[in-house]
Structure 1
Amino acid sequence: MTDFVVLEKADDVGGTWRANTYPGCACDVPSALYSYSFAPNPEWTRAFATQPEIHAYLRDVSARYGVTGHVRFRTELTRAQWDDALQRWVVETTRGRYTARLLIAGAGPWNEPLVPELPGLLDFPGEVFHSAWWNHDYDLRGKRVAVLGTGASAVQFVPRIQPRVARLDLFQRTAQWVLPKPDHHVPRVERALLRRFPVLQRALRSAEYLGMEALGVGFRHPSVLRAIQVVGRAHLLATVRDPELRRALTPDYTLGCKRLLFSNEYYPALTRPNVLVHPHAVRGVDGSTVIGTDGSRAEVDCIVLATGFRILDMPVAGRVFDASGRSLADHWQGSPSAYLGTAVSGFPNAFLLLGPNLGTGHSSAFMILEAQLAYVMSAVRRIRAAGWSSVDVRPEVQAAYDAEVQAALPTTVYNAGGCSSYYLDANGRNSFSWPWSTGRMRSRIREFDEGAYTVRTGETSTVR
């Protein structure tokens, strides 16, 4: 199949692994699992790969499988609308118009950084940047730096910048569970064996999958994760001796309610003399001073925003429109929903990748993507073979599926863990998490189920 294009707003492939280049950027899923099953990589130099290696891997796979030649770089989608008369998607971009039978939205939820609207931030006289837009030209040596946020990015870059800065003020809205990271350098001899015997690579991937799935049981049964919290508390106790600081860093919710974080360096970095942890959110900025909600103040030269991404209000939702001109965002009204996280009623021949309620707290995004792509390609083959002009998931099917997912979520740690996380949308509904195992996900999304769709052939529509 060659009649396709990939529209990419940047000048290279790699997605989040191209965009995020902050110091210490790495994956928190084991390397053998965080890769395509059809393109194993025996050359990972660490058990948990770093950003440069992952980006290089993605570029290599794209070139090796002939995808790069289909990518239109520096081409940003501005609007895509379904034309019912043409039975085509009309796609407007910064570099011209396209028409297409099918539209696959692969922007993903970790695409647009979330920049908080803090009073006074725009008037800050120093340097301000988000961790996803790291300014490598700005020299942090000897600077007074405020870090806003303590999520996955901050846990990785704070230990890297702490030795260089004169002072680091870390504003922590919510304490995070941080577990020890079983990371290590992969010796050359081990890499040589994986290269020579591919079966070993497959066995390693399977072992890592089973290990992560065992952890995943706890997400569905929070009592299991409460037992694992012992490891987190021991890690905190062993690395943070100051009882006041340790108390500030101790979460008051169940492990897994927020994204799991792994680091062997984060807690030690926070104990250094040039670091001050403010266990509060930021209220605003006054000149060069960052002010916490408790009234604490920090005079700084630079502010680094570690404030995450627009996970559930993805900008692409405001750029994709149905035949009547209503956008995905209009349909969702703050609570994203899609059948199997992939298809939305009213948007024929359109599919989402890493869509609503497919997120897991324990497994690899590659596994989700491969399951979805198998489903989408099954649909594409069926549409082409049958000569259909369009398929549109039936609204009652989508509603029933969504009800099933939402009914399963209340007992999971995502909903019952006692925290407020990015899993919850603007309406307080969990629109992010998958409440079952990834095995069940792969089984559920294995093959296109045409019976869930209204099929249009020429001028007629048929419920299959």
Structure 2
Amino acid sequence: MTAPGAIEEAGATERATVVIVGTGFSGLGMAIQLRKAGRDDFVILEKADDIGGTWRDNTYPGCACDVQSHMYSFSFEQNPDWSRWFSGQQEIWAYLKRLADKYDLWRFIRFGREMVSARWDADEGLWSVQDTAGRTYRGRFLVSGVGALHIPNIPRLPGIEHFQGTAFHSANWDHDYDLRGKRVAVIGTGASAVQFVPEIAPLVGKLTVFQRTPPWVLPKPDRPVPQWMRTMFRTVPGVQRLVRAGLYWMLEARAVGFNGHPWLLKLASKIGERHIAKAVKDPQLRAKLTPDYVMGCKRVLMSNDYYPALARDNVEVVDSGIAEVRAHSIVDGAGVEHDADAIVYGTGFHVTDAFDHLSIVGEDGRDLAKQWATHGMQTHRGICVEGFPNLFFLLGPNTGLGHNSVVFMIEAQIRYVLDAIRLVESNGALALRVRPEAQEAFQRDIQRRLAKGVWSTGGCTSYYLDAQGVNRTIWPGFTWRYYLQTRSVDPSEFELVQPAAAAVR
């Protein structure tokens, strides 16, 4: 391995057996398991100047996890000292940094190295990865840990080029801009907005929230973790694992409603309606904030202070759309002009089109972005893609969750990738490629099950769906079933490319 910082000049090449992209939960988790396996033949590319992925980038006020921290963490690295049941951004980021320290990962990370392209060399059985500075990384295995929530989705508002105020996305929060006393327009009411709106509402002079579709927001059972419990987690073996198991099965039960039993979600929606009624007394505002679709069709959110914030005298909710942006204002769909000194986008991220900007070329010149744009994001188990040997996605298509912790899915996928690498190396092969019929069978199965789920039948559109209305984001069912499917690689679903065969290709 080349020492950190040694590869700086454009055109330089670094070699490693495994090239990992990203330093969020996926990338770091993959690196940790490689280290545990006694390997140091890998390199990690990170576009930023620090680790953390989502939990590095999102520093907006109130940023926190909406899954209990004792589940939103690695099973093999439990943290007994979470301060709250739902931890904030800084605490989760610090957790990841401690893992990088513990497993000595810093020396494997190449900061400021954003991958722009990757090409499969069939003759050598290697991936050639290039970053924005023209450096090249050559590796037998390429593991993408970039996830889907890293490219901000900023809508093209008519007339936005004329706006003379400050505008930024929640994932790129402008901490130098003082919101106190300002007239602020928030575009979007998704997961981030539900967290930052209550934080900024008491500070600003006027807050105008532009809502396209109201989310279902449930009470958040968040509270500090008492010191006696943290002490017990540290000193009594098995207690924290028992708590984690209880959380897992409690969250897992929610999958029943999402998958073919929407009547259960209709019962849950009554809790959401009472949550609105408790905080919002104005019947017109209550009507604006009450969704007309089945809970779960869009991401279900949690907050105890979002509705009280919207009921403040200095806050207005606009649900008529945006007709035009002017130099110092926004005109809504009803023709009403709203003054604005700043615009904050709470509009989420590119999800089903997150890989469109990358050039990943596999066998026979196949372009992954074009292939997915034409046929949809199709994979085998959300990890492998037919025609792209030795390429693995962590938290790839159709492995996102609406009911449990994605870290559970990431761990299952890391184990699967490690088994795939062992299968290749133990057989003296150059590569492993998924058989087309295996991928097709997997896709038929998950799309059949997704068709019955609330995401397809709940009466809404969401970021779960691609441009053709197909769900390419969510795992349709229980996560324990995914765990069983990915315990090991089924050799019958793959073809091993031997050196001679690779040279012929």
Q: Into which bin does the TM-score normalised by the smaller protein fall?
A: over 0.9
Aligned equivalents of 2:449, 2:111: Cα separation in 1 = 41
Aligned with 1:167 (options 206, 209, 212):
206
The answer to whether residue 287 in structure 2 is matched with residue 247 in structure 1 is yes
Matches of 1:318 and 1:326, distance apart in 2? 13
CA contact 1:317–1:328 (8 Å) conserved in 2: no
**1:333 Cα deviation after fit:** 1.6
Deviates more, 1:427-436 or 1:38-47: 427-436
Aligned counterpart, 2:97 = 59
Partner letter of residue 60 of structure 2? Y
Distance 1:150 1:227, change over 3 A: same
State the alpha-carbon separation in 2 of the partners of residues 44 and 416 from structure 1: 38
Question: What's the TM-score once normalised by structure 2's chain length?
Answer: 0.89
> Conserved in 2, the CA contact under 8 Å of 1:318 and 1:327?
no
User: 2:125 matched to 1:87?
Assistant: yes
- Greater CA deviation, 245-254 or 391-400? 391-400
SS of residue matched to 1:333: helix
2:65 corresponds to: 27
Matches of 1:265 and 1:36 in 2, distance apart? 29
Aligned structure 1 segments of 4 or more residues deviating by more than 6 angstroms: none
- 2:108 is aligned, of 59, 67, 70, to 70
Contact 2:116 2:358 in 1 (8 A): no
What is aligned with 1:237?
A: 277
Alignment match, 2:402: 361
Aligned residues: 461
- Conservation of the 8 A alpha-carbon contact between 1:148 and 1:282: no
Work out the CA distance in 2 between the residues paired with 1:282 and 1:66: 50
Letter in 1 for 2:143: I
- Compute the displacement of 1:188 (Å): 1.7
Question: Match for residue 332 of structure 2?
Answer: 292
Please, which of 400, 422, 425 is the counterpart of residue 381 of structure 1? 422
Is the 8 Å Cα contact of residues 317 and 327 (structure 1) preserved in structure 2? no
Aligned 1:204-223 pairs, distance under 5 A:
204-220=243-259, 221-223=261-263
TM-score normalised to structure 1 length: 0.97
For residues 291 and 325 of structure 1, the distance between their equivalents in structure 2, rounded to whole angstroms, comes to 48
**2: distance between equivalents of 1:140 and 1:395?**
54
2:4 maps to: none
Shift of the alpha carbon at 1:197? Answer: 1.5
Q: Give, in angstroms, the shift of residue 257 of structure 1.
A: 0.6
Of 145, 148, 156, 1:106 maps to 145
SS in 1 for 2:463: coil
Judge which range, 320-329 or 78-87, deviates more: 320-329
Q: How many percent of aligned residue pairs carry the same amino acid?
A: 46
| Counterpart residue number, 2:46 | 8
User: Is the Cα contact below 8 Å between 1:129 and 1:304 reproduced in 2?
Assistant: yes
Deviates more, 1:440-449 or 1:250-259: 440-449
Q: Is the 8 A contact 2:424 2:496 kept in 1?
A: no
Q: Which residue of 1 aligns with 2:493?
A: 452
Tell me the residue number matched to 1:409.
450
Contact 1:34–1:366 under 8 Å retained in 2: yes
| Conserved? CA contact 1:225–1:255, under 8 Å | yes
Deviation of the 1:317 alpha carbon? 6.0
Q: 1:145 aligns with which of 162, 173, 184?
A: 184
CA displacement at 1:316 relative to structure 2: 6.3
Tell me whether 360-369 or 113-122 shows the greater mean CA deviation. 113-122
Give the Å deviation of 1:281. 2.8
Report how far residue 123 of structure 1 moved: 2.4
SS at match of 1:361: coil
